[in-house]
Chains A and B, each alone.
Chain A
Amino acid sequence: MALKLEIVTPEKIVYSQTVDEVVLPTAQGEIDILPGHQPLLTMVEGGEVTARGAKTEHLAIDKGFARVQSDTVSILTEAAIDTANIDVQMVEEAQRRAEEALKVAREENVDPAQIEQLEQVVRFAVIQKLAKKKNY
């Protein structure tokens, strides 16, 4: 028995592999999904997904939804990245840029949609940094 883990973002399918166990950061704390889990639909918080299989992989994800059905864990999120690929320096720079833009945007009263997008960048940057720090 094995689980299939799929992580899908608007840009692409970030991850699609067979694993033994998945740890999800949900709105009510971390939950562990094993094969044979009852169908579940849950909201995931920004955080770290751990996939344990032949080797253990950690992925930073933004908030979204997760569905467990037929031994398939599908995660729907705005952004996701393998922690091994996170470049802390680049993330920090992106965060700084976004924060600056956010400050300007708030003062100038621009489109709320744009502000929300910048907030997402900042949020995901923080998530990525936390995930990276935890594992290395």
Chain B
Amino acid sequence: MPSTKEIRTRIKSVKNTAQITRAMQLVAASKMKKAQDATMAGRAYAMLLAEILESVSHQEIAQNHPLLAPREAKRRGILIIGTDKGLCGPLNGNLFKEVMAIKDDVAYVTIGRKATQFISRTKRPLLADFPLSDKVTYPEVRAVVNYMLELYTEGKIDTIEILYSAFVNTLIQQPTIMRIVPLSGLHELIEDVKKRYKITLSDTSKDEREFIFEPSAAEILHELPALYVKQLIYQSLLGAKASEHSARMVAMKSATDNAKNLVSDLTLEYNKARQAAITQEILEIAAATQFN
């Protein structure tokens, strides 16, 4: 049985740990709120952009656009969005399980240190890794998007896919692979997103008349697809951030709870040890007086 002193030290150290995990939990909670709001806010924009792109994509001229034309996927390009720091429960692990399940020819681009480490340790082809700050900004996203679009147009990769932890709610983060380019399955994607997020934009699909394009469909198509890809990746990054903070908060909360249980167990043990020591002492004194 450990001595009372040992138990006391142990209790102290567990309490310290609990304090740290509790602080981390609070920090994650406040960041989570912000990240969640940002994700929710960006959804309407992404949605509308997708709808607009879809109405142009039916035009004949769109069939020749490099990003819209279907292409056979020989070598997939996957962007993995991991986290920089650990201590966020099974979040990264779940992503990596998805990676292990992929057997095709894939080239990877990563965001987040954990993802980079995983890909390079498992000796998978890593093309580039990008940093990402806590508050996702457009310029950071653009660097990634431009790089991947360049690879795609050069033909080094035949798809642009993104693997990230989609934010469902605070307790559930779903590892998801989303194929962004080629933009051929746009309609299915829109329906899927609509169902998932219950977007509050008005439904305009009843109007069946021909669209007029001003100045022209070609002009509109000039920038729209690239903007859409950028927006979609930006949106996924926001979702991934919300997931990260949610997962971290939940992990830290359970760590704090565990520490509390541990402290109460240890306190019980400590009290028992103390009582045993006192009883022992009294016995010794009593025995000593008897023999004198």
Contact = CB atoms under 8 A, between A and B. Distances in A.
Contact of B55 (A6, A9, A67): A67
Interface string B128-154: 000000000011001100000000000
Interface stretch (B13-21, B22-30, B39-47, B77-85): B39-47
Interface string A11-38: 1110000000000001110000000001
A81 B143 CA distance: 28
A19 to B, nearest CB: 13
Interface of B: 41-42, 44-45, 48-49, 51-52, 55-56, 138-139, 142-143, 200-207, 209-215, 219-220, 224, 231, 234
Interface string A104-129: 00000001011001000000000000
A41 interface: yes
B132 to A, nearest CB: 14
B220 A41 contact: yes
A70 interface: yes
22 contacts: A4-B202, A8-B45, A8-B48, A10-B41, A10-B234, A26-B214, A28-B214, A28-B215, A38-B209, A39-B209, A39-B211, A40-B211, A41-B213, A42-B215, A42-B220, A43-B215, A67-B48, A76-B45, A76-B52, A111-B143, A113-B139, A113-B142
Contacts of B200: 13
Chain A's interface size range is 20 to 34
Contacts of B139: 111, 113-114, 117
Nearest to A114: B139
A8 to B, nearest CB: 5
Q: Which of B143, B203, B211, B224 has the most CB of A within 10 A?
A: B211
Given A27-B214, A72-B202, A72-B204, 10 more contacts: A4-B202, A8-B48, A11-B41, A13-B200, A42-B214, A43-B215, A67-B48, A67-B204, A76-B52, A113-B138
